[in-house]
Amino acid sequence: MINMANYIRVINRAYWPSEDEISKGINIDEIGANTITQELKTKDNTLSLWAVENPEDVVLAMISNASRIDDMYTLKIEDDILYAKKLNVVNDHANSRIKELNEFHYNIRDLNYKKLADVAGAIIEALREETNLEVFTKKDIIMILKKAIIEKRVAIQDLHKKIREEIEKYE
């Protein structure tokens, strides 16, 4: 594990219990199957995280390889939460178009049925603190992209055609 205050994961807020449900107490065994199968999609038994302080960097890294812009939620998860759940977090460089961020990509590795429940528990624990959750609207994301283009963090021609068209609509 690294010595960071948190990791950041993009989540789909609709799959997770509401703030009210969380405050009343959640039994992890009652989390819906769609939360696990749709939200915690794994590849090679791993799940992606970013170890950066600014959630905008995660949004930028994710959208730089995307083919469309949708609202995004980022969730800060303290490393202590992941450590307490005994999750195997390993630095695995990403392949985003934002080269300076790729080294800050991590994966939770060696996931299985039990460990997915532990990941869900970690997400719910992080959701208990509403300041951990940040929403980025389509307009916010376009502004992040425009700023990154101006700062030469990403070249507009490297983005998917549909994303370039969305950016041009806001010109």
Mean pLDDT by 10 residues, the chain (171 residues): 69 92 87 89 94 96 96 96 95 94 96 94 94 96 97 96 93 70
For residue 55, what is the enclosing H or E element? helix 55-63
What is the per-residue pLDDT for 1? 37
What is the per-residue pLDDT for 2? 42
What is the per-residue pLDDT for 5? 55
What is the per-residue pLDDT for 29? 85
Phi, psi of 112 (to 5 degrees): -140, -175
The sheet that has 88-91: what strands, in order across it? 88-91, 105-109, 47-50, 7-11, 72-77, 133-136
What is the per-residue pLDDT for 12? 94
What is the per-residue pLDDT for 28? 84
